Structure 1
Amino acid sequence: MSYLVEEYPAIFKSSAFGVLIVGDDGNLLDYNRKAESILDIPPNQKFSIKDLFPREQSCDKQTFCEGVYHGFNLKNKFISIHYTQVPSENQAYSHYLLITENQDNTLSDEDFETIINTIPGIFYVFTEDGKFIHWNKRFTELSGYSDEEMTYISPIDFFPESYRKEASEAIARVFDTGSASLSSVFLTKDGRAIPHEYFGTKINYLGQICSIGMGIDVTERIEAQNSLKQANKRLSTAQQIAQIGYWEWDWYNQNYLWSDEMYLLCGVPKENGPLQHLDFASRIHRKDLQVLENERKRIVNTLTPGEAEFRFFLPNGEMRYFEVNTSPIIDEKGSFASLEGTIQDITERKAQEAAVSSSNERYELISKATNDAVWDWDISTNEITGNANYLELFGLNRDSIIDEETYFTRIHPDDKERVRANMAEALFSHQKTIIDEYRFKNRKGKYRIILDRSQVFYDDKGMPKRMVGAMQDITSQKKAEEELLNITNRLSLATTSAKLGVFDWNTQKDVLEWNEYMYEIFDVDPSDFDRSFQSWLDCLHPKDLHQFDLISNQELLKRRLLHTHVRVVPFSEEIKYVEIHAILLPDKEGKVYSVIGVCRDISEKVLAEQSINRAIISTQESERFEIGRELHDNAIQVLIAALMNLNHIKEKSNDPATITSIELTKKAINEIRRLSHQLAPSDLGNLAIEDSIRDLLKEMNINNEFLIDYEVDIEPDTWLPDEMKINLYRIVQEQLNNIHKHSKATEIKIDLIIQGQKLVLKTRDNGIGFNMDSNYEGIGINNMGRRVRMFEGDIEINSSHKNGCEIVIQIPIDNLEY
């Protein structure tokens, strides 16, 4: 930067005098080696010319002037210099100084006193045995001691007890090594300890070895340092709280500086140092890279600050939102040098903004959907403004302002005083929210029912200053509530009359709401019922759980409507039959959140149907026995008589037609006899059911079409009523007929066993089966189901295409009457 080297190289390189180049702001821009030697200027530090030596005030920087300076250089060495100030026309600097050191440093006593009294601190000279022989006025003023007292006070007395060892060592170093410095305090007469920086040098003064030195009051500097530390601590704390990091980027040298918070924000260990440019850029969302680069170019070209937002990926993959504020650093030539700025984590703010935006959108949509009349009452001015719906309610134009009285004149006379009283009480008790309903006259002169919700704002003294609210027309809602109340009353009357049980199951909370008839239908004590769905299922017959188990049976949850019949096993052990109708309500995701329905006790209906079924089946059996008997007693006898006549004719004539007729007649007799036996098995009452089924299998498989596996596990003395035996016989008969007609099976497996208190009949075949999802229930299967239900039994059918069919029948036998 040696400006003078280019203009006057001989002057700048001269060893005869020192050269100091000074800028417009008074700061030292450059100097030669001679000046460095005279003033003891340390390298790589910035100084103002006043720091080096003060000049006469009359010596303006734009004038040519000369002078002499007596004082101390930066190493506290006493110097006497002659200076010449030369103003410059070069815009790069203000002026330069030529300085020479006076070889004769001898000063008059008057000059010496003047010099030491102008020193901005205490000055002292004391001998090796600790006797003061010189001091300046600042010393006595600050210490509080008189000049007479100074003659018998030791230098060590100006240090508190805890500092004296360190002070003694510093004094000894002065006399041993020639100089020393010390950061300590200055103890005054009144006991104040003032922070000072001491600088001492050994000299030969008036024929004595002495220490000459000065002390500078550094109270303000220490306070400033402490303030700076506190400020830095508060800044660091604020950065952590606000999640703000500071950074510098030396663009040309590619050097980076990060604050501690930057490492925390970016998830980078501090010991690894700042991320380099490419590493940092690799973690920025690719859609934000170009935006940041464009902003950087703009800042560099225009030298103006800027800001931007970008998405940043932490090492763990988490994405955060950052806001960067960037400022250019400009060098002394006014050119771009580097960048500095801050980065703040705004992820939470972005989330809040998104939530607020979503909330505002919802509010706007709700406001539009509900047509709320929004109003704002400035209580201090008694002016009420509102949105378009509010003004429409009053029949006023957009710029109209309404006062309190205008508002209250529209309220129904029967409601007005109540609304006033409610508002006054709310304001007196400092309520923040007021909700009221009243009738309000609209612009057409008709009263509408209004729901008014308002928020109250109070000043520092607790006085209401503003109210903001929304008026919602709920006239239709009120009418609907009245209609709903009427419907509810009628429904309650209907459910009471029909003794319908009503339920509502909250699937998310697993809480059931029952009316009184539900407890009666399911024979449950309300005090013992925990209102969970599982407790309800515990009331049902185990065989019926699959029809209403909305916990485990996910297929049921896919339905919108559910109609089913279940059996209830109450404590009385008398089975009840209950009809359930329910609607399943799904949420937006399709998950059922509520099941609402009704239950009705249909035990009487079911018992009546069972009675009818018995009558039907009894009639069917009677008809079958009658037809079988008629076939056996009449038709077979006629055929036998015909056969006898044909045999008689055969004896007289060997006609082939006669022989054929005889064979056909015999066959007809056998078929009718077999059919008669099937319709009316005469020995069914005498045989055990397992034997009757075995005979039935033989008759069906007379041509050995099937491979039959028949297993029986029943005690020989097991008693079954004839009614049950004939129905089991008919069930097996129906199953075998279906297998023979439809299944194309080659194997049949039948198990007749007793398990516990149940008779179990299982029939399986290896036929073509059928699809259970289709309507497979024909007359035969319905007849089987009717016969099973006559005895409180269960029938289960399992089949699928090409996988045969299995029918399992279970009939309780623990309550059989002998």
Structure 2
Amino acid sequence: MTTVAEFIERNREQLIERYAEEASRTESARGLTQHELIDTFPEYLSTLANISRQGHRGDPVKTKTRLEETHISQRVRLGFNQEEVTGEYVVMGRLISALWEALPLQEQPSPEDTQLLFEELRGAMDQVVATFSGYTADDRQREKRFLRRLDALSSEVIGNSERSIPLHERLGALLEVVQEAMRAEGAGLLLADPSGKLLIPTMYTGRWRERFETEPVPVDSPSFLAELARSEEPLALADAVSAGPAVAEGIRRSGLRSLLGLRLWPHGKLLGVLYIGVSEIRPFEPQARRYLETLVEYLSGIIEKALLLQQLRQTNERLRKSETLYRLATEAISDVIWDWNLQTDTVAWSGAVEKLFGHAREELSGHISGWYDAIHPEDRERIVHGIHAAIASGEQRWRNEYRFLHRDGSYVYVIDHGLIERDASGKAVRMVGAMQDITARKAASEALRASEDRLRLAVRAADLGTWDFNPVTGVLRWDERCRALFGLTQEAEVSYDTFLEGIHPEDRERTHAAVQRALQLGSGGDYDSEFRPLWRKDPGEHWLRSTGRAVFEGGRAVRFIGTVQDISDRKRRHSEAQHRAEFAEQLIGIVSHDLRNPLNAITLSVAALMRQEDLSDRQAKGLARISASTERATRMIRDLLDFTRVRLGGGIPIERRSLDLHALCGQVAEEVRLAHPDREVEVVRSGQGMGEWDGDRLAQVLTNLMNNALAYSPQGSPVRVETRGEDGAVLLRVHNGGIPISPELLPHLFEPMRRGSHAGDGASRSIGLGLFIVDNIVRAHGGTVKVRSTEAEGTTFTVRLPRRAP
């Protein structure tokens, strides 16, 4: 392991050159000669190397101190500032450590050696700070001792709300520590009143133990103390005796001459002023001013915290006095009362929370998050944002409605309102509110609104007519729309007999019977009837649907109300759908019997002819074309039949039986190879292939996917078919290369009558039902089919088939 000394000595010239380059960049180094830039650095490097070998002892240490004093004094004469000189020692450390930082750990100096180097450089920088500021390491140690004493006293003053000592009992001791630390003979403290406009004499120590200022000092007065309150820096008064009215007469007679003071200014607000006095007339050193700033800043924090604690005790006392009244008030009302401490974010609940919502007080009391969690998730953001907006905007009250969690897991509607309490500065410190259960009222309001909405939608959106019949008096009322639907004018008289006379004779008796059933006690009162009106003049057959309900009192129907709707279009659509279904059934019969039979005859005849041995090549090719065309027509018919079944809602029927998908795939692939002898079909299988499927239907899936792959891939490229057994399912993948499926077509690929741009000839074209049939067969087995197609990967169809029925 190489030492720091060895690195310095091996790279001495390089270090000197780099140091001169870095040192020349500071503003104060401009115009210096090379000799002035380097100064004592070469000899300083040798000293650091000696310390690396011998440790921090002996002549190298003395030499190092001498070189540092010489270098710092020279830099002071040349006009360098403190930051520039300390920066030179930082550069030294960076240049030296850079010699090994990129080397392996075993080739670097030991951690102890490196630590010693940086301790020496840090000591040099401490010397720079002491030279420029006059604040030595001894001064810092002395400062720490007195800060510890202040800290010990602050623990007694602040402590906690139950065991802390009042500030006024320890304020004198705190001020004596400051007086002793500053080596003064007297110290005084004046605190600002709440308005910040007056300084109130508070505590004096030493030769000022007797309070010389008895009256408040205005901050805007010309006195020395007022100047302290307005100044950001410590102020000194050379001779208090000759200061005249600027200093209180008692201070001038105390025998203390020179004064030094500073304001207490925590968080940008005047807290007071503190000043000290000494008996001789003398200026105060810069380090004394800095020392006073540190002590006063620390003392400000102690006093501020103690005053806040005192205010808190007073507030707690007021709260304790009002607790009895508050408890009695919350018990006297049925609403849930809550009390939110905005400073600690804790909430307390009244006992009514258990009666109304089932929660024990202890379950919800605690952090505000418990309340937030009980608000319905759909209302939470709105309520939390609204309540915090009211707090932040300076409002005094907040009110809102939302859903609150009951202990049984349900939600109840509540109306909640709170009063926000603020301190003298306007900051919100507390919020007290009352929560009332309005679930029943809300439900009644919602029911009424929903009923009105339904009626309005029924009349306006559904184009309904309304009627109102009194079975006791026989009076019947129709609105304008109801009259128009029956073909009556607005002036025409209507009655129950008029209603029956306006119905087609074939529908009249049935409609009258439906009305009578609804008016019978025990029927439930519901009425629903469809009929044809007679008086409509517009062309075409018209149908109306009338629905209503009877209201019973004293065992008889006293009111019968309802609506009328024109359902002519629905009736026509239903009739057309029936015609289409009948046509589809006829088409299935034609295709399955009248077309398949001749195709079967053609297939058998071609097969017989092809078995003849004396066929010429031309005859054989002609028969092969006939066979292929017949097979294509058969496939089209089969696809049309399957398509018709799906469209009629019956789906594709399957018959499950035990089957090895590996074997079936191999069989279908062989048949495809025979039909395409010039193409390569590669079959790969793995895992267990057994399951319960419809073999004929899966053969249809395999044939469609393989033929598609051959049709949409380059002539000389192979098609890969893979079957792979997995837990509970078997995967089938069919892959081909070539131009990918367009992104616009991919989402619609399994819809009927969809085809890509075919690469083959016209004889191989399909009617676009193959993938639609594939998808329906796979879904009938409880499986899925997906496709992925890219330029780089080609096109892959992936079918997943569960081994058993779902």
Task: Name the TM-score class by shorter chain.
Answer: under 0.3
Q: Which has the higher helix share?
A: 2
Between Structure 1 and Structure 2, whose CA radius of gyration is higher? 1
Q: What's the TM-score once normalised by structure 1's chain length?
A: 0.24
Compare relative contact order (CA 8 Å, sep 6+) and give the higher one, 1 or 2. 2
